[in-house]
Amino acid sequence: MRITKKLWLIPVALGLIAGSLAVMPRSTTAFASNDSQSQIVGAWEVDADAPYRPHLATFHADGTMTITNPTDVQVVSSNTNDSVGMGVWQLENNNGQKYIVGTFEELNATADTHHPTDTLYVSFKLTVNGDTFDGPAVAKLSTFTVPSHLSGSRIVVDQDAVDSL
C-alpha cells in the first residue's frame, strides 16, 4: 500500500520535469538561424588588401572575433611580427540594409626582442550573403590610414574527407 501511494509521484515528477524543459531557454547554433546577425558567426577564410594572404577569422555569437594571418610575414620588410587580431562586431541596420560592422586590433612587436612597436586597427563594414561576405575596410597604423577591402568564404566541413575516414 505504501508503494502504491508513492507511485502517483512519478507522473507528477515527470510532468514537472517536462514543464521545466518547455520553458527553459534553448541554445541554438547561430549558423542554423536565418537572422542577419547570426549569418556572420563561424570560421572564414578572408582575403584582404594586404601584402599577405589569406587571413583566417572566427566571428563568435557573443559579438567578439579573432583573426590571424601567416606567421612572420612582416619580418623581412620591417623586422616586426603581429599578433592574432581580436575585436568586436555588431549588426548595423541602415534604412533596411543590414551590415556587420566591427573593429579588430593586432599588436606588433620586433621579431628579435619581442618589444611592442605599435598596434594595427582595422575597421570594416561587411555584407553577408550565405557563405560569403564582402565589404570595405580601413587599416590604421600609427599616423597612417589605408583603405582596404575584405572578402570571405565560410570554412565548411570537407564532407568527402570525412566520408573517407
Phi and psi at 158, nearest 5°, equal -80, 90
**Domains annotated on the chain, with CATH:** 35-156 (2.40.128)
Instruction: State how beta strands 64-68 and 80-82 pair.
Output: unpaired
C-alpha cell read off for 97? 540594409
Q: How many CA atoms lie within 13 A of 102 on its CB side?
A: 26
The residue type of 84 is V
Interior angle at CA 38, CA 51 and CA 98, nearest 5 = 75
Q: What is the pTM of this model?
A: 0.72
Q: How confident is the model at residue 82 (pLDDT cuts 50, 70, 90)?
A: low
The confidence score (pLDDT) of residue 129 equals: 95
Residue 27 has pLDDT above 60, yes or no: no
Mean pLDDT of 111-137: 90
3-state secondary structure of 2: helix
Q: How confident is the model at residue 71 (pLDDT cuts 50, 70, 90)?
A: low
Interior angle at CA 163, CA 30 and CA 29, nearest 5 = 10
